[in-house]
Chains A and B, each alone.
Chain A
């Protein structure tokens, strides 16, 4: 099993540009999570999908952030327009389980390091 796949691994962009981060969950998993990791705030949940449907997006910072999951094997996190304070490592995680049990068993991808200048 390849595990959770994220691309790109590194992204450097200028303020104001659109950024799209991609995630392929583990095959057969039903839940997908996007997290952001910064020095100041640590690891924070941004949004959570269950069977491709967004369940909880309360962690999405503002309207500049959007996430989609068009099918069970692909999700995107988009930032438009990007700002320097969006610089962070963004992780995608997936779980075979749904609902509360999804928290018990999450597999994380390697992350995308985003730098906005």
Chain B
């Protein structure tokens, strides 16, 4: 599959454990944030989003937390499964045209 990075930060967790992936964003004016999942050989896939007027948003097995004071996002995955193994990117929406600005990504590896 496509290699998205050999030098990405890597998080290794045991199947069934919870995972927390962190991201720092750059622009304090960004008002919308998205987490993407990228599996080997595929394009990024939307997981969950959050607006800047919220601190927390929950989806199915995933929760995103936003701390605007320190410009930090986190993605929590409950009961991590082997199918969650992928590279995870945070993205912020900036500019008048709404360009997506992606973070560097974190590789999640789930051990069975």
Q: Is the interface of B mostly helix, strand, loop or mixed?
A: loop
Report which B residues bind A (CB closer than 8 A). Answer: 2-7, 32, 34, 41-46, 49, 89, 93, 96-100, 102-105
- Residues on the B chain within 8 Å of A42, using CB: 5, 89, 102-105
Report which A residues bind B (CB closer than 8 A). Answer: 4, 33, 37, 39, 42-45, 48, 55-56, 89, 91, 93, 99-111, 113
- Residues on the A chain within 8 Å of B98, using CB: 99-104
In the bound assembly, the distance between CA atoms of A110 and B4 in angstroms comes to 12
Complex contact A113–B34 (CB within 8 A): no
- Starting from the known contacts A39-B3, A55-B97, A104-B49, 16 additional A-B residue pairs (CB-CB under 8 Å) come to A42-B5, A42-B102, A42-B104, A42-B105, A43-B102, A44-B102, A56-B97, A56-B99, A91-B43, A102-B98, A103-B93, A103-B98, A104-B34, A104-B93, A108-B43, A110-B43
Q: How far is the CB of B4 from chain A (nearest CB, A)?
A: 6
In the bound assembly, the distance between CA atoms of A93 and B45 in angstroms comes to 11
Among A48, A91, A108, A109, point to the contact of B99 (Cβ < 8 A). Answer: A48
Identify the closest chain A residue to B92 (Cβ). A103
In the bound assembly, the distance between CA atoms of A91 and B42 in angstroms comes to 9
Complex contact B32–A89 (CB within 8 A): no
**A93 in contact with B46 given A99-B98, A102-B98, A103-B99 (CB within 8 Å):** no
- Residues on the A chain within 8 Å of B99, using CB: 45, 48, 56, 103
